[in-house]
Amino acid sequence: MCTLIVLHRLLGNYPVVALHNRYLGKDTVEEPPRRTGGVVYPVDVASGGTWIGFNDEGLLLAITNQETQNLDKPGRSRGLLALDILRDCATADEARDILLDPASKKLYRTGNFAVLDAEAGHHVVWDAGTHHYPVEPGVFAMGTVTIVPGIQWSDRSRRLYESSVRRVARANELLDGYKPRSIEEAVETMMRVSADHAHGRTESSICWHHPDYMQTSSTIMAPGPESRVLYCSGNHCENPYKDYSRALTRAHKP
């Protein structure tokens, strides 16, 4: 039930400013962002992988579920694949090619992947098939059900789609025509967006509340000359962001 919101190629030296609100079961355990080699990412403790991160080349990758199939336990976490890609790829185009390779998909659950850098952006959907959509400069929002050719609807997937599409629509409404003037302003704007309750304290709001699940975290990342990394444990309407920027990041390669 996650939501990804990106300002893509709208701010000079910070071409990717991303917000990821993550939602999972109440037994989920995360650790705040860390640096391993040239990659910065928060950690899902159970898998050792991540759902959002970037590397020193300025490539950012983020994942949300594609909630259209109930599959057996996968052979490997998509979060580990995310780290593989961030270690091995310098560009969004290279990352896209890996995600489009049929061999890459075999071990993993369905999902939505966004890979973005200063030159390009790509949204790749793994469902029954694999689908690719370019991400143009502007505001890009991604939920947990993307309608693709051949989609198989269930009552559950349709219900999740209805709440997901409201979150995506609200993100686009809040940021329609937005042109950040500085990275500081962009980060502050994303913080406000992360706590939005347009549909109340329900799963249809960007700041998502549910009796059986939780918002595990909200993460803001912006690779650039002085990269930004902010992480909030839980919902930002209840908890502050902690700034990890100076501790973890360095300017990415031009």
DSSP 253: P
Q: How far apart are CA 53 and CA 61, in angstroms?
A: 6
What average pLDDT score do residues 43-67 get? 96
Q: 3-248 in CATH: which number?
A: 3.60.60.10
Distance of CA 119 to the CA centre of its chain: 18
Domain boundaries, the chain: 3-248
> pLDDT per residue over 158-175, tens digit each?
999 999 999 999 999 999
> pLDDT per residue over 186-227, tens digit each?
999 999 999 999 999 999 999 999 888 899 999 999 999 999
pLDDT at 247: 86
Query: Is pLDDT of 138 > 60?
Result: yes
